[in-house]
């Protein structure tokens, strides 16, 4: 007979400790990634770095897309099946998602590579971009699976195991591989960098399999499996759209600049976005820590606890974001100059990007609130509309204002998205997803 699963700890201390752990790991990873990007920018120079930035953005977007939403869905299904004591469905969900991701991503990676090779032979696409994209496509199965395995770890509350491989190991491995290849006399080109990135992504997958697979309770993956393919797919697809659209919002400006402007402009703008990622990580960290809380309180029909989690997570996102943005604006030129001569020319895009991120932080992880409370179709619609708006604004503004136009388009899109998330959480849950006054974060005499 199946053993009764352990209940996931959702205490206030545990949630906020997880938020600190996740943000600490992601901040350390972002610091490593920023150092890596500075290192690559100085070695590659603006033109080659721009080619790398374009390819890396494509890998991130497609890699997230190819997890097919199971990365987020599994974080809802594991707590749900544990609460309802349905381990056979838990096992079925874990294995079905893994097989789907592996088979589909391999097939798509092969199709992308073959298609690009054919386009180059027909002289319809420049080999400068195609060669990089073909190598990048080889990393897609590993990227998608590593993200999915991280989602499994997060559902159990294992934040260090979940994030350390992708946040810490991957940038370190990439940097080590790149330095090693240069030391052996390989040219420091964008192709060299993306090849090292592909190898690092596969090594990250192996590490994730080792540390998450070893920690999982045997009862959660060994034994009889039951499946609900259609309900899982219907739930996962909107989550795939949401995650992909979220990544598009952070990368569509880089892709659109690559279309309209030379690679060196892509490179300096990409450097500015890498600095701003430090702020965006707060939303991700807090949302990651509170995801299980949203799902469990909603499933238990505990409206008061759900409202408290939503307001607190919004506050923990907004106030630290505000402080970080102030620091970045104050030292924007010094930070950009770390990438090398000429990169400080993108300093004027920092302020408009900051406005969008502040508005997004004000409502906290609204997209995760909707996803974990069964409103994933609504969230998907919001993200679809925001991405369409972002693309239209980039097409209009980049030809007229260059990099500033891209930053303005991204900022307006974030503001619109934050407003829509606020309205939909209020409409569907009757809860205000908004940061509370700062004194409510640390009440003097209350206990929750």
> 164-218, pLDDT tens digit by residue?
888 888 888 998 898 888 888 887 788 889 999 999 999 999 999 888 878 777 7
Whether residue 196 contacts residue 138, with contact meaning beta carbons closer than 8 Å, is answered with no
d(CA 212, CA 32): 23
* Residue 6 in domain: no
pLDDT score at 14: 54
d(CA 145, CA 164): 15
d(CA 416, CA 213): 40
Torsion of CA 203, 209, 212, 218, to 10 degrees: -170
Domain that holds residue 232: 12-441
- Helix 229-260 to helix 376-401 angle, to the nearest 10 degrees? 10
* Residue 223 in domain: yes
> Three-class SS of residue 345?
helix
* Residue 304 in domain: yes
pLDDT score at 198: 94
* Residue 364 φ then ψ, to 5°: 65, -160
Of 8-17, 162-171, 274-283, 390-399, highest mean pLDDT: 390-399
* Residue 235 in domain: yes
Q: Tell me the average pLDDT of the chain.
A: 81
The CA angle 93-99-102, to the nearest 5 degrees, is 135
pLDDT score at 441: 56
pLDDT digits (tens, 9 = 90+) for 43-81: 887 778 888 888 888 888 888 888 887 877 887 788 778
* Residue 72 in domain: yes
* Residue 210 φ then ψ, to 5°: -70, -50
What domain count does the chain have? 1
pLDDT score at 19: 58
326 or 275: which leads in pLDDT = 326
Helix (H) or strand (E) holding 418: helix 403-429
Distances (CA, A) of 227 to 294, 376, 422: 24, 21, 35
Percent of the chain with pLDDT over 90: 17
Minimum mean pLDDT range among 82-86, 256-260, 335-339, 441-445: 441-445
pLDDT at residue 10 above 60? Answer: no
* Residue 376 φ then ψ, to 5°: -70, -30
CA 71 and chain centroid, separation: 11
d(CA 301, CA 333): 49
* Residue 447 in domain: no
* Residue 7 in domain: no
pLDDT score at 33: 74
Going by pLDDT thresholds of 50, 70 and 90, the confidence category of residue 41 is confident
Provide mean pLDDT across the span 432-446: 61
Tell me, what DSSP letter sits at residue 433? -
Tell me, what DSSP letter sits at residue 435? P
- Segments in 216-349 forming alpha helices (H): 229-260, 263-299, 303-330, 332-337
* Residue 1 in domain: no
441 or 278: which leads in pLDDT = 278
Going by pLDDT thresholds of 50, 70 and 90, the confidence category of residue 23 is low
How many Å is the maximal CA-CA distance in the chain?
72
């Amino acid at each position: 007979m199946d053993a009764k699963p352990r209940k996931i700890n959702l205490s206030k201390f545990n949630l906020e400790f997880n938020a600190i752990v996740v943000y600490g790991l992601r901040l350390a990873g972002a610091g490593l990634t920023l150092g890596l990007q500075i290192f690559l920018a100085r070695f590659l120079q603006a033109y080659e770095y721009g080619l790398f930035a374009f390819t890396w953005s494509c890998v991130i977007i497609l890699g997230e897309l190819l997890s097919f939403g199971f990365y987020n869905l599994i974080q809802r299904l594991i707590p749900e099946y544990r609460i309802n004591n349905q381990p056979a469905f838990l096992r079925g969900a874990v294995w079905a998602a893994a097989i789907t991701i592996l088979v589909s991503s391999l097939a798509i990676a092969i199709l992308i590579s073959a298609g690009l090779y054919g386009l180059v032979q027909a002289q319809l696409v420049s080999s400068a971009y195609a060669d990089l994209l073909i190598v990048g496509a080889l990393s897609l199965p590993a990227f998608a699976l590593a993200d999915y395995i991280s989602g499994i770890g997060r559902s159990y509350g294992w934040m260090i195991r979940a994030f350390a491989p992708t946040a810490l190991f991957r940038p370190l491995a990439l940097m080590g591989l790149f330095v090693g290849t240069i030391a052996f006399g390989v040219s420091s080109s964008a192709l060299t960098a993306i090849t090292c990135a592909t190898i690092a992504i596969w090594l990250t997958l192996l590490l994730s399999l080792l540390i998450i697979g070893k920690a999982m309770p045997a009862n959660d993956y060994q034994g009889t499996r039951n499946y609900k393919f259609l309900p899982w797919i219907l739930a996962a697809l909107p989550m795939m759209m949401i995650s992909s659209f979220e990544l598009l919002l952070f990368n569509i400006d880089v892709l659109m600049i690559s279309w309209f402007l030379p690679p060196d402009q892509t490179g300096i703008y990409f450097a500015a976005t890498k600095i701003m990622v430090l702020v965006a990580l707060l939303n991700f960290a807090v949302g990651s820590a509170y995801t299980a809380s949203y799902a469990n309180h909603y499933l238990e029909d505990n409206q008061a606890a759900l409202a408290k989690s939503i307001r607190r997570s919004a506050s923990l996102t907004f106030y630290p974001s505000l402080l970080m943005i102030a620091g970045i604006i104050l030292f924007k030129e010094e930070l950009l100059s770390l990438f090398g001569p000429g990169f400080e020319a993108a300093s004027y895009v920092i302020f408009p990007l900051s406005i969008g991120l502040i508005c997004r932080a004000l409502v906290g992880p609204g997209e995760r609130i909707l996803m974990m409370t069964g409103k994933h179709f609504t969230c998907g619609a919001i993200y679809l509309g925001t991405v369409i708006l972002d693309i239209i604004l980039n097409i209009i503004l980049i030809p007229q204002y260059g990099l500033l136009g891209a930053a303005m388009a991204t900022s307006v899109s974030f503001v619109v998205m934050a407003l829509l998330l606020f309205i939909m959480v209020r409409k569907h849950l009757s809860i205000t997803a908004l940061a509370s006054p700062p004194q409510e974060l640390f009440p003097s005499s209350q206990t929750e």
